[in-house]
Chains A and B, each alone.
Chain A
């Protein structure tokens, strides 16, 4: 092709595009080839639901499920489950301690599931950390061992606390009565507080049991168990729909956690007995063998008072 353009002096000067023809063709071929290759390479189902490969949604569903849930465990282990569901760990899923159970369930037990060892699996939840809600049961294990008179620190927690029945509550947790836990200013005070409000030093100690149960606390402090905290036997947790209630049944196995004679207990340990040998030793009447510890040892603990007897 020949085109003409004017030069500065008015005379027309030719420009020739002939030599660009091959180049232009090459470029067009390149662009078309690129578009064609693109069409071939675009993955199927791209752009159907949005700017992504729609098949990826179904692919994401195809990963194996590893944690199978309590129902699958109960199919074979309903004996453990029935203990577990009545004690303090009822809300703790099986697989949170034992790890994912899919392999174990699929092999119907031929492949072992993890059995936690040592103290760490327990301390992961029950180590005393200042960030944990104070009402949650937590300990410093060395202090705890000293308190209950265990000298041998190599012993694990499960020596006394069966992981499936740590406290022997022996009661359907979900139907137990709630205990109100007063711990916030607005539980009593209706007026608004400004930012600078602090609890005055002479504020009554309302966060303690003695505020409502003065009589019981005074009585308790005179008796053998005065060093034990109220919350050890009466488990208060923050009000919730599943965790912890007041122990009212006084199951003997709970007392045995501290008072069972064992060769690993030190000389400072609380007085221990043999069980169920002790029952044989002290039973005088036929009905005595079914009694609970508190039926005979009430005086060691505290008076059971009617609510009207304690100071409000």
Chain B
């Protein structure tokens, strides 16, 4: 099994294309958490509602970056919107992305309007930025607040199908490609959405713990446990779908099964079987089961939840890797495999990928300096000069 079509020796979709669905997955997942609060009224999640909405926005801004790095002609990137060929799932990207960006932007504008107004009344660069954002209209009273709330709810609700579309179209892009037996399945759309939600919740939990620990804030116990339960539930569905896909292939054993089996047994054995399923799915499943069902002391529960979330974050990233790269390792001649290792310093290499992934967290910090992301956070330990600047009475809306 050592023949690939001569043009297949190079892998076209690199680690950048692994990163892109991962980031939009974080967006979709974080947005769902925010909508759980705004639309479905899950008051338990108030502590992270604002953060999840803003982080959805920040990740969204960075989502096109890996794509631009990958394109052969990034200067022609707008061709997707100027001359879209709508038979292609990829053509939807420009419009869905723009619409969704607009929606999230608007939702932030409306949900944080009171905070912006309070900040705008001050002095300095941050205040000027807030005035600009508000379009120099600082009017506020009960009626405007009610409007803001109404519109926020509407947008949060509209955003759920739009988020599913934003991330789901990537799944469809892979799943509808009949030429690649590793990708071609109707389940891909759904698998991507559910694993996106898992990654979104996981990154919120992960970041919440890290930031709280750094700043010495008290963890909102109810919020975290609620998130953990949601995470557990969504990950069960996501992993079940992933398993269903592979078991279905293994059972049917159509023509391409030979090469797929060899792909799993040899090329992807560690990343797929050992890591994606055994270590990074089974163990977090057990951890979250214990944390959700058993009465535990806070510290132990938090340790389990945080570890499980981190592992699930990697699980989703690895799943994207196994799908994107795995599908390109196998030859369409069904007779062999090629190899791929992302260069370290290449334009589409690991250093660039690391930069793209960490930049959003930097931007989130900048945002936090203007409007705090975790209002109502209470310090329980730490330095006195490190005050939480919470300038609003109400919060989270």
Interface residues, chain A, with chain B CB atoms under 8 Å away: 2, 5, 13-20, 22-23, 26-27, 38, 41-43, 46-47, 51-53
Could you tell me the distance between the alpha carbons of A6 and B150 in the complex, rounded to whole angstroms? 13
B82 touches A19 (CB 8 A): no
Q: Which residue of A lies closest to B151 (CB)?
A: A20
A38 touches B147 (CB 8 A): no
Q: How far is the CB of B147 from chain A (nearest CB, A)?
A: 4
Question: Which among B23-31, B135-143, B351-359 touches the partner chain?
Answer: B135-143
Could you tell me the distance between the alpha carbons of A51 and B86 in the complex, rounded to whole angstroms? 9
Could you tell me the distance between the alpha carbons of A142 and B106 in the complex, rounded to whole angstroms? 79
A–B complex contacts, Cβ < 8 Å, 24 sampled: A2-B143, A5-B150, A13-B146, A14-B143, A14-B146, A15-B143, A15-B144, A15-B146, A15-B147, A15-B150, A16-B147, A19-B113, A19-B137, A19-B139, A19-B144, A19-B147, A20-B151, A23-B109, A38-B82, A41-B82, A42-B82, A42-B83, A51-B85, A53-B83
Measured between beta carbons, the chain B residues less than 8 angstroms from A46 are 83
Q: How far is the CB of A35 from chain B (nearest CB, A)?
A: 10
Q: Which residue of A lies closest to B149 (CB)?
A: A15
Overall SS of chain A's interface: mixed
Could you tell me the distance between the alpha carbons of A18 and B85 in the complex, rounded to whole angstroms? 40
Q: Which residue of B lies closest to A39 (CB)?
A: B82
Q: Is B158 part of the contact surface with A, judged by Cβ < 8 Å? A: no
What is the count of residue pairs linking A and B with beta-carbon distances less than 8 angstroms? 53
Q: How far is the CB of B87 from chain A (nearest CB, A)?
A: 8
Q: Most chain-A Cβ atoms within 10 A of its Cβ — which of B87, B137, B139, B143? A: B143
Measured between beta carbons, the chain B residues less than 8 angstroms from A53 are 83
Could you tell me the distance between the alpha carbons of A2 and B142 in the complex, rounded to whole angstroms? 12
A38 touches B137 (CB 8 A): no
Q: Is B78 part of the contact surface with A, judged by Cβ < 8 Å? A: yes
Q: How far is the CB of A51 from chain B (nearest CB, A)?
A: 5
State which of A17, A26, A38, A42 has its C-beta within 8 Å of the C-beta of B135: A26
Q: Most chain-B Cβ atoms within 10 A of its Cβ — which of A19, A27, A38? A: A19
Could you tell me the distance between the alpha carbons of A17 and B144 in the complex, rounded to whole angstroms? 7
Measured between beta carbons, the chain A residues less than 8 angstroms from B102 are 27
Q: Is B250 part of the contact surface with A, judged by Cβ < 8 Å? A: no
Q: How far is the CB of B281 from chain A (nearest CB, A)?
A: 42
Q: Most chain-B Cβ atoms within 10 A of its Cβ — which of A2, A15, A18, A38? A: A15
